Amino acid sequence: MKPSAFDYIRVDTLDEALSVLADSDLEAKVLAGGQSLLPMLNMRLAQPKALVDINRLAALATLGRLEMNLAGVATQSPDTAFLEVGALVRQRQLERYALEEERTRLIHTALTYVGHPQTRNQGTVGGSLAHADPSAELPLLFLTLGGTAIIQSTRGERQVAAEEFFQSYFTTAIEPGEMLTKTLWRLPVPDEGMAFKEYRRRHGDFALLAAACTMKIGSDRKVQHVRLGLGGLADTPLLVDEVRESVGEHWAKERARAVAEAVVNRLDFADDYQASSSYRRQLASVLIATVLDAAYEDALAKEGKHGVDQG
């Protein structure tokens, strides 16, 4: 399987990249890590007239912490933090970075499920988010944690919240002529519990179903904040609304099952050769409950420790 012919454009600046993308006749596709794009080119499922190789844009490879809120105003609170991930940051680079501290552990865990080390060496965070495979781990995590996508074009820069970024199968808010240049990821606060779980047939496969959860419990053991995201169930990753009802309440195991039940009752489950809709429903039910319980246990362990440190 060999790709069909395309113009190859290797840019040295972001402006060059954006002006090439702005030329709609070129139908140029961005080449970053290529781990999603090249298989499609090789199978001739995608036949772009041009590829824009952005790998020389070092400015898009920055990775670091931002202590500020979304309006760009530095806050006093050390707890509010974002991870600034340039679009060209390699998945493996983020994986190694995220191993360094507890607040990024969820990102590290999810990344260990992304493909294989060899594909993570080359694949980029931006590429995975822009590709928007509904079974992929990075889109799920970005949505669950929350954050902002920075999208640029010759017309300027705009910001799109994670909740608005994924629109449908392999479709994001990125318009023709635009490019994702970086994403800001909300970092869980130090005592926020977190969990990630994925069901897949083989090590390294795409997820059949995946879930990510963060949960903050107060010293009164009531839920202050909880987010639950699901992947592989729809045309995009999903944020589960039902967990919001738990805010202000004590968490209990029955809650996890109740949320799971409520969610699976309102969703439609695809039926195909990989899994029957009955099986997907069962998996979803178990997955949701498991991940909620795990996030709660993690929050409890951290809150206890935090409480001990404080007291």
Partner 1 sequence: MESEQFRWIGKSLSRVEDERLMRGAGRYIDDLEPFPGCKAAAIVRSPYAHAHIRHIDVEAALQVPGVVGVITGADVRREMRPFPVGVPAPIEYYPVALDKVRFVGEPVVVVVADSRYIAEDAAELVHVEYDPLPAVIGVEAAMQPESAVLHENVGSNIANHRIFSYGEWEQPLKEAPHIISARFEFPKTNATPIETYGVIADYAPGTNEYTVWANFHGPFTLHTVMAQALKIGTQQLRLCVPADIGGSYGIKSAVYPYITLIALASKLVGCPVRWIEDRIEHLKASSSGTDRVSYVTGALDENGRVLTLKLTQYDDVGAYIRAPEPATLYRTHGDTTGAYDIPALYMDNYAIMTNRLPTGLIRGYGGPQLYFTLERFMDIAAHRLGLDPTEIRRRNFIRPDQFPYRTLTGGLYDSGNYEAVLDKALELSDYRAFREEQQRSRNGTGQGQAGAINRPLQGIGMAAIVEPSGSNMGYLGVAFTAEERARQLPKSGCTAAAAVAIDALGGITVRIDTTPEGQGHETVVQQIVAEVLDVEPRSIRVIAEMDTATSPWSVASGSYSSRFAPAGSSAVYTAAMRVRRKLLHLAAEQLQVPAAALRLQAGRVYHGDKDTGLSIRRLAGLTHWSPTELPSDVEPGVYETSYYTIPTVTPPNEKDQVNSSATYGFLVDVVKVEINPEIAEIKVLDYITVHDAGRLLNPKLAHGQILGGLAHGLGSALFEEMVYDEEGQLLNGSFMDYLCPTVGEMPPVEIAHQETPSPLTPLGAKGLGEGNTMSAGAAIANAVADALGIEPTALPLSPTRVWDLLCQGNVGQPKREESHEAIRI
Partner 2 sequence: MEWIKADTLTAVTLHVNGRRYRAAIEPRMLLSDFLRQECGLTGTHVGCEHGVCGACTVLVNGEAVRSCLMLAVSMTDTEITTIEGLARHPDFPAVYQAFTENHALQCGFCTPGIVVSAMAEVVGRKKKEEEIVDVLSGHLCRCTGYHGIMSALREIT
Beta bridge partners of 282: none
Q: Rounded to the nearest whole angstrom, what is the least distance from the CB of residue 203 to partner 1 in the complex?
A: 3
Out of 80, 121, 224, 290, the residue judged to bind partner 2 by CB under 8 A? 121
Closest by alpha carbon to 176, among 198, 201, 151?
Answer: 151
Other CB atoms within a 10 A radius of the CB of residue 243 amount to: 23
Q: Does 171 bind partner 1 (CB under 8 A)?
A: no
Query: What is the rounded CA–CA span in Å between residue 306 and residue 252?
Result: 21
Q: Does 266 bind partner 1 (CB under 8 A)?
A: no
Query: What is the rounded CA–CA span in Å between residue 296 and residue 311?
Result: 22
Tell me which amino acid residue 33 is: G
Out of 8, 219, 241, 252, the residue judged to bind partner 2 by CB under 8 A? 8
Which residue, 170 or 279, has its beta carbon nearer to partner 1?
279
- Binding part of the chain for partner 1, among 22-30, 230-238, 248-256, 278-286 by CB under 8 A, reads 278-286
Among partner 2, partner 1, none, the one that 44 touches (CB under a kind-dependent 5 to 8 A) is partner 1
Q: Does 202 bind partner 1 (CB under 8 A)?
A: yes
Q: Does 201 bind partner 2 (CB under 8 A)?
A: no
Q: Does 108 bind partner 2 (CB under 8 A)?
A: no
Which residue, 23 or 249, has its beta carbon nearer to partner 2?
23
Query: What is the rounded CA–CA span in Å between residue 210 and residue 16?
Result: 38
Q: Does 307 bind partner 2 (CB under 8 A)?
A: no
Q: Does 206 bind partner 1 (CB under 8 A)?
A: yes
Query: What is the rounded CA–CA span in Å between residue 253 and residue 155?
Result: 50
Tell me which amino acid residue 308 is: V
Query: What is the rounded CA–CA span in Å between residue 16 and residue 9?
Result: 10
Tell me which amino acid residue 264 is: V
- Binding part of the chain for partner 2, among 113-121, 163-171, 172-180, 280-288 by CB under 8 A, reads 113-121
Helices (H), 2-84: 14-22, 37-42
Site residues (vs partner 2, CB under 8 A) = 1-12, 16, 31, 34-35, 38-39, 41-43, 49-51, 53, 55-56, 92, 112, 115-119, 121-122, 202-204
